[in-house]
Amino acid sequence: MLFLIYGASNKVFHQYKTFISPIQKKGWELTFTDNFDSIDKMKWRLGQPWGYYHDASLHQHHSLKQVWCDSGYLHLGGAFEPQAFIHRDSNIVIPYGIGLINSDISFMQKYGFFEIRCKNPEGPATWPAFWLTGAHRWPPEIDIFEMYGKKTGTRIHKQISSIHYGVSETKSRGTLVRQIRLTKDTDKEFHVYACKWSPYFIKFYTDGILVKKQRINKHLRKFLNDEMVIIINNGFEAKYLKYLPKDFKGNVFMIDWVRAYKKIK
């Protein structure tokens, strides 16, 4: 199958066959892998260590019901699943449940190659993500991808890759954002998304092709030198929930496998 990646000018700059990565990479040691034949709760926390929802996203909560494996795939669902919580001494109901897994209970790593083979959820308001975040502090964070369905679901084919650095709530905080326009099948076909993180560069790959590169200078390096954990999640963007169809039952972010490698010295 052919796969195209577009630059900002919408001109095609790569055309290639879908890349399926071998488990062993020359010069790299495999340090973490999951083929998702089942949910391995020794590897993954189902949710975040700090709770079932984020203060800035009171429209969605992390739901155990929205994480399951079937036929060798991890399914991270997103559905209308109202749940009551106590938030700042008040009772609230968070309407949507989403699936999220975090490797913090078993795996963290400083530098390396991280990759996933997955298929996006369909429709409006979708917000799947594959990212790394600091094991001991935040930032750092490397978003290998976030993709957004927005009003119609057609915007899901733009890969947003971001690097968060600095010290929270100080002038050093910043974000570097790179956008890659993909072909319009990321919610129909599986693709491989990856990141190579070193002290000097962060490189983003889609189906084995280098699509973006960020140089890490001395200033950035001191903020991007912590071990990171792997997080994979489905999600909804709050302002586009009104565009979901009236008969919306839910969507699914499907993951075939995830892997991490470390450079052999």
In order of their start, the domains of the chain are 26-36+100-263 (2.60.120.200)
For residue 4, pLDDT beyond 70: no
pLDDT tens digits, 20-48 = 456 778 899 999 999 999 999 999 999 99
Question: Can you give the pLDDT at residue 221?
Answer: 95
- In this prediction the pTM is 0.92
Question: Can you give the pLDDT at residue 24?
Answer: 76
pLDDT tens digits, 191-240 = 999 999 999 999 999 999 999 999 999 999 999 999 999 999 999 999 99
Residues 99 and 255: beta-carbon distance below 8 Å:
no
What mean pLDDT is predicted for residues 6-14? 38
CA 52 to CA 175: how far, in whole Å?
25
What is the distance of C-alpha 49 from the center of its chain?
A: 17
pLDDT tens digits, 90-141 = 999 999 999 999 999 999 999 999 999 999 999 999 999 999 999 999 999 9
Question: Can you give the pLDDT at residue 6?
Answer: 45
The average confidence (pLDDT) of the chain is: 91
CA 245 to CA 239: how far, in whole Å?
14
Question: Can you give the pLDDT at residue 21?
Answer: 57
Percentage, residues of the chain above pLDDT 70:
92
Cβ neighbours of residue 45 under 8 Å, at least 6 residues apart? 101, 102, 103, 104, 105
Question: Can you give the pLDDT at residue 22?
Answer: 63
Question: Can you give the pLDDT at residue 60?
Answer: 98
Determine how β-strand 73-87 pairs with β-strand 251-263: antiparallel
For residue 18, pLDDT beyond 70: no
DSSP 8-state symbol, 53: S
Question: Can you give the pLDDT at residue 171?
Answer: 86
Backbone angles phi, psi at 33, to 5 degrees: -155, 150
Task: Give, in degrees to the nearest 5, the angle at Cα 139 between 205 and 150.
Answer: 60
What is the distance of C-alpha 64 from the center of its chain?
A: 18
Strands (E), 22-172: 28-34, 45-46, 60-62, 67-70, 73-87, 90-98, 100-102, 112-119, 129-134, 141-146, 158-165
Question: Can you give the pLDDT at residue 29?
Answer: 96
For residue 160, pLDDT beyond 90: yes
CA 22 to CA 3: how far, in whole Å?
19
What mean pLDDT is predicted for residues 154-173? 94
